[in-house]
Amino acid sequence: MFYRYQILIEYLGTGFVGWQKQKKGRSIQSCIQKYISKLLKHKVNIYGSGRTDAGVHAIEQSAHFDTNQKIKNLNIFIKSLNFFLNKQNISILKIAKKPLKFHARHSAKKRYYIYIIRNGISPSVINFNKEWHIIKPLDIDLLKRGTKKLVGTHNFSTFRASNCNSKSAKKTIYKIQVIKKKNIIKIRFISRSYLKSQVRSMVGCLKYLSEKKWSLQKFEKIFKSCNRESCAPLAPPHGLYLEKITY
């Protein structure tokens, strides 16, 4: 008999090759698998709701794993896991038993990503590698007008990484929110799924727009061109957070 458990995970992506286990470098997935396997005394594979790139953070990543033994005390299990993982800048926030039909990736309805920009003359030393520092003033109204062009179902080839494995470049963005408080700008993207590097590519183009390097007409033209080579440079990974998954 197998039992399936969902875990919610917070992590700082700095120093990791990303979520996905790879031949070289530390990954979030391999770190968590190692210590769950150690506690349960058998090999465990965990499955995440999606991959985050190297340097990208998570406020609440979702994953699941199967085991042939029922975890009797979930709180003790979390504490034991975090004893090892907290030193790696990973924290298990919650664990819950789920039916076997639940799948962290395939059962997901919406994925929320948030990108954080500090717009001003001075960088933050406390939030170093946790936000994108942009000195040049950004036009928030223009930024918001740009995001409205991206909402809906479109071909997002312009924002697609060359090594993206998705079968189709057609995606639906349900909503984009732009929140500004003092010199901090947060851009929240809500969709069921994304292309590889899509969010960072969109933010990079929105930066060019809000810096007035591009007009709104040029921004829209480049988006609709479906030409990856026309895309602005990617926003750095350290400003991006996987915020939450809904099922």
Spell out where 50-143 has E strands.
Answer: 57-67, 90-98, 110-119, 132-134
Query: Residue 7: what are its φ and ψ, rounded to 5°?
Result: -125, 145
Q: How far apart are CA 241 and CA 247, in angstroms?
A: 19
Active site residue 53: yes
Q: Are 133 and 18 in contact (CB under 8 A)?
A: no
Q: Where are the alpha helices (DSSP H) in the chain?
A: 28-40, 74-85, 140-150, 198-210, 216-225
Q: Compute the chain's Rg from CA coordinates.
A: 19
168-173 — which CB contacts under 8 Å span 24+ positions? Answer: 169/195, 169/226, 171/195, 171/198
Three-state DSSP class for 63? strand
User: Across-strand partners of 170?
Assistant: 155
Q: Which residues pair with 240 in a beta bridge?
A: 115
What distances in angstroms separate CA 157 from CA 113, 202, 219, 226, one per listed residue? 19, 11, 14, 5
- Selected catalytic residue, list 53, 66, 139, 141: 53
The catalytic site residues sit at 53
